[in-house]
């Protein structure tokens, strides 16, 4: 196992005033900081785990959702193994990414990308309602058949980190740089990570051996269908999407894109969990009680596509 950074660019800052800051006032230490100079910015932190007996034919890359970090794929809020461990044990080389700005990728206060707008952190009610755990956080009442480990709600919300809205292009660039390093790969993306996969894919379709798009809110554009139609794509959709206008729209987009790829003779598969009788999954399905059941369905699809 190991870790490295992918992508990023050089930022040069000039003409800004020198600041004196008190570091750790209790020990009475001051540091003079001159913000002028060069920085590396907009890179992505990547942590990898390689199995002893590799069975996956390509590296397996995990791209998390908005406001989250690579933590999303690790231990679940209630302490069970996540998808990282599931696929690693099956013999996949696993690469867990923190998107630009998130987690160990860091961000740069002097970079315009981050200084032009205040970032947002999801409050607890948002993380409950927006991600379809239940209709109202006030009651804490989850939807019927909910799979979410509500007893570990505090642990769940602790994993959210501030997000900016103007960083999509930087994330796409860093993930592209990562694919240049790893070579052709299989990507599992969630939400924002799945949506942005399509932006990376159109610039380097040959680097995608397959994409598992878990509840993206955006898909491939119509003009890209021919370019990407031969890349195996598995769409994974949870429950309760029709209860929220935004998710209803995302669901419709996914199904439309899936049908267009199929109509073009491409390789697209829809894993619509409630339609298969798997009820109760929210947007956070990779950390819910049936997370291994869903992972098993993904692994079957990998096998069917000769990826392992």
202 binds a copy of itself (CB under 8 A): no
168 binds a copy of itself (CB under 8 A): yes
Residue corresponding to tokens 């935004």: 246
- How many whole angstroms separate alpha carbon 200 and alpha carbon 82? 25
CA 99 to chain centre: 8
Assess contact for 197 and 224: CB atoms under 8 A. no
275 binds a copy of itself (CB under 8 A): no
Bridge partner residues of 38 (DSSP): 12
Give 243's contacts (C-beta < 8 A, 6+ positions apart): 132, 135, 143
Binds a copy of itself by CB under 8 A, chosen from 13, 50, 262, 270 = 13
In the complex with a copy of itself, the residue whose CB is nearer, 167 or 268, is 167
Using CB under 8 A as the criterion, what x/- string covers residues 246-265 for binding a copy of itself? Answer: x-------------------
What minimum distance in Å lies between the beta carbon of 297 and a copy of itself? 24
- How many whole angstroms separate alpha carbon 67 and alpha carbon 79? 21
Closest to 199 in 3D by CA, of 179, 219, 183: 219
What minimum distance in Å lies between the beta carbon of 35 and a copy of itself? 7
Of 106-114, 140-148, 283-291, 296-304, the segment contacting a copy of itself by CB under 8 A is 106-114
- How many whole angstroms separate alpha carbon 66 and alpha carbon 72? 11
154 binds a copy of itself (CB under 8 A): yes
Bridge partner residues of 134 (DSSP): none
2 binds a copy of itself (CB under 8 A): yes
Of 25-33, 227-235, 277-285, 291-299, the segment contacting a copy of itself by CB under 8 A is 25-33
What minimum distance in Å lies between the beta carbon of 22 and a copy of itself? 5
Binds a copy of itself by CB under 8 A, chosen from 51, 91, 126, 290 = 126
Binds a copy of itself by CB under 8 A, chosen from 85, 224, 230, 293 = 85
18 binds a copy of itself (CB under 8 A): no
Strands 2-13 and 37-49: antiparallel
Q: Is 158 exposed, middle or buried (0-12, 13-18, 19+ CB in 10 A)?
A: exposed
26 binds a copy of itself (CB under 8 A): yes
């Amino acid at each position: 196992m190991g870790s490295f950074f992918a992508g990023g660019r050089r930022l040069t800052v000039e003409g800004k005033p020198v600041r004196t800051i008190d570091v750790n006032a209790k020990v009475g230490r001051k540091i003079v900081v001159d913000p002028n100079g060069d920085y590396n910015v907009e890179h992505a932190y990547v942590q990898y785990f390689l199995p002893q007996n590799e069975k996956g034919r390509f590296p397996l890359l995990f791209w998390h959702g908005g406001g989250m970090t690579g933590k999303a794929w690790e231990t679940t809020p209630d302490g069970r193994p996540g998808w990282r461990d599931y696929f690693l044990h099956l013999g996949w080389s696993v690469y867990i990414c923190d998107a630009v700005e998130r987690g160990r990728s860091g961000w740069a206060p002097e970079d315009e990308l981050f200084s032009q707008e205040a970032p947002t952190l999801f409050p607890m009610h948002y993380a409950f309602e927006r991600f379809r755990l239940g209709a109202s956080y006030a009651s804490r009442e989850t939807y019927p058949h909910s799979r979410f480990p509500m007893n570990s709600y505090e642990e769940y919300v602790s994993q959210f980190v501030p997000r900016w809205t103007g960083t999509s292009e930087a994330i796409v660039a860093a993930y592209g740089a990562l694919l240049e390093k790893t070579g052709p790969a299989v990507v599992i993306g969630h939400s924002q990570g799945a949506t942005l996969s399509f932006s990376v894919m159109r610039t380097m379709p040959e680097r995608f051996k397959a994409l598992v798009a878990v509840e993206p809110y955006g898909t491939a554009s119509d003009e890209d269908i021919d370019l990407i139609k031969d890349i195996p794509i598995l769409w994974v959709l949870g429950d309760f999407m029709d209860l929220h206008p935004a998710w209803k729209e995302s669901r419709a987009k996914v199904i439309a894109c899936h049908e267009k790829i199929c109509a073009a003779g491409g390789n697209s598969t829809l894993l619509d969990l409630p339609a298969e009788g798997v009820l109760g999954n929210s947007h956070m399905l990779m950390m819910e009680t049936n997370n291994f059941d869903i992972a098993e369905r993904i692994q079957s699809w990998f096998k069917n596509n000769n990826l392992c």
